[in-house]
Amino acid sequence: MIRLALCDDHALVRAGLVQILATRKDFQIVGEAADGPALITLLRGQAVDVVLLDIALPGRDGLEVLQQMRLEWPLLPVLVLSTYPEKQYALRCLRLGAGGYLNKSVDPDTLASAIRKLHAGGSYVSAALAETLATALRRHDERAAHELLSAREYQVFLQIAGGRSAAQIATQLHLSPNTVNTYRARIMDKIGTRNDVETALYAVRHQIVSGTVAGETV
C-alpha cells in the first residue's frame, strides 16, 4: 500500500484527487493539507510514502515548502502537481529535489503511474521535460541568470513577466507592495534588467513565457 499525502489550497482539488486515487487499490490517502505549514505538521506525525504538492500555496509557496521538506525528509518522494506550464517551474522543482512534475490536466492513469514510479525509487517527467533536462545538462556551465533567483524571487519574476503591477502581485502572493518592490529590485539586479518591460522581455527571450514585448515575439 502506497501512503499518500496531498497538499493543495483548493478543497475541491483535494476532493477530486481523493476520489480519483481511491479507485486504485494500492493507494491510501493518509493526510491532506491546505498549505505548507499544515503539510509539515502532517509529515512530522504521519508516515507517508509519496507527497503530492501544489506550487501555488498561500504564504510559503510550494517551492519553499519543497526546500524545507528536502532538509527534513531528503529521501521522501515528492510529485509536484501544478497548473503552471512545465517550462516555467518543472526544471526548478526537479533541481530542488522533486521526483516528478505533472500538470493538473493530466489523465488519472498517468498520475497513478507517476506515483508508483516515484514510490519505486524512480522519477517521472514528460518527454518534453526530458528534452529540457537534457539541454540543461549540456549547458550546465552556462546557467541562466534567472536560475539563480530564490524561490520567492522567481515567483515575483513570473508575475512581472505576466504584466502585473506591484499591487496585483502583492495581492496574488500575499505580500506587501513594499516587499514586492524589494524583490523586484533584487530580480532586476540579478538578471541585469532596468525595468519591468526589460524583465518581461527577458522572460520571453528565455522562453519562460510566451508573448510579445516591445515588438518582439517568441
Q: What is the C-alpha separation between 163 and 54, in angstroms, rounded?
A: 23
Every domain of the chain and the residues it spans:
2-138, 145-217
Q: What is the C-alpha separation between 76 and 190, in angstroms, rounded?
A: 32
Share of the chain above pLDDT 90, in %: 51
The reported pLDDT for the residue numbered 33 is 97
pLDDT over 80 at 140, yes or no: no
pLDDT over 60 at 215, yes or no: no
With bands split at pLDDT 50, 70 and 90, how would you rate the model's confidence at 133? Answer: low
pLDDT over 80 at 87, yes or no: no
Task: Of 180, 182, 178, 215, give the one whose Cα is nearest residue 200.
Answer: 215
pTM of the complete model: 0.70
pLDDT over 60 at 26, yes or no: yes
The class of domain 145-217 in CATH terms is mainly alpha
CATH homologous superfamily of 2-138: Response regulator (3.40.50.2300)
Compute CA distances 57 → 7, 47, 133, whole Å.
9, 22, 25
With bands split at pLDDT 50, 70 and 90, how would you rate the model's confidence at 86? Answer: confident
Q: Are 68 and 40 in contact (CB under 8 A)?
A: yes
The reported pLDDT for the residue numbered 217 is 43
Using DSSP bridges, classify how beta strands 2-7 and 50-53 pair: parallel, antiparallel or unpaired: parallel
